[in-house]
């Protein structure tokens, strides 16, 4: 079974630029998550999708972050404009049955904002 795919693996941008990350979840998984992991900390949820609808985006900084999952499969996370404090690993995860079930993580995208 293929795992969660993310791209790119690494990205370096200057502050105030924009960036986008892509995620392809495990086939058949209805729930998709984006997490932000700052170095030295545990992952923090940014947004959760159930199919193509947003279930929880309470911790997403909506003034600069946006995410979509238009066809209920792939998802993109965008930051515009980026700030220095956005430097982190952005992890995508998917699960078959939503909260209270195991989530499978991708390798993440390491973003460095300079």
Contact residues for other proteins, defined by CB under 8 A: 4, 33, 37, 39-45, 48, 56, 89, 91, 93, 99-100, 102-108, 110
Nearest to other proteins of 31, 82 (CB atom): 31
Nearest approach in angstroms of CB 92 to other proteins is 8
C-alpha–C-alpha distance, residues 31 and 103, integer Å: 9
Nearest to other proteins of 59, 80 (CB atom): 59
Nearest approach in angstroms of CB 82 to other proteins is 18
Task: Spell out where 14-87 has E strands.
Answer: 19-24, 31-37, 44-50, 53-56, 65-68, 75-79
Nearest approach in angstroms of CB 83 to other proteins is 20
Nearest approach in angstroms of CB 17 to other proteins is 21
**Token code pair at residue 5:** 């795919």
With beta carbons less than 8 A apart as the criterion, state whether 92 and 32 touch: yes
Phi first, then psi, for residue 84 (nearest 5°) are -55, -40
Task: Spell out where 51-87 has E strands.
Answer: 53-56, 65-68, 75-79
Nearest to other proteins of 61, 81 (CB atom): 61
């Amino acid at each position: 079974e293929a795992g969660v795919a993310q791209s790119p693996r690494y990205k370096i941008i200057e502050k105030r630029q924009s960036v986008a990350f892509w995620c392809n979840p495990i086939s058949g998984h209805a729930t998709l998550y984006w997490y932000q992991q700052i170095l030295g900390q545990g992952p923090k949820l940014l947004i959760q999708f159930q199919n193509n609808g947003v279930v929880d985006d309470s911790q997403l900084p909506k003034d600069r972050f946006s995410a979509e999952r238009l066809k209920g499969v792939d998802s993109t996370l965008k930051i515009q404009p980026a700030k220095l404090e956005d430097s982190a690993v952005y992890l995508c995860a998917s699960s078959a049955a939503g909260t209270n079930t195991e989530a499978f993580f991708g390798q993440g995208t390491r973003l460095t904002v300079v």
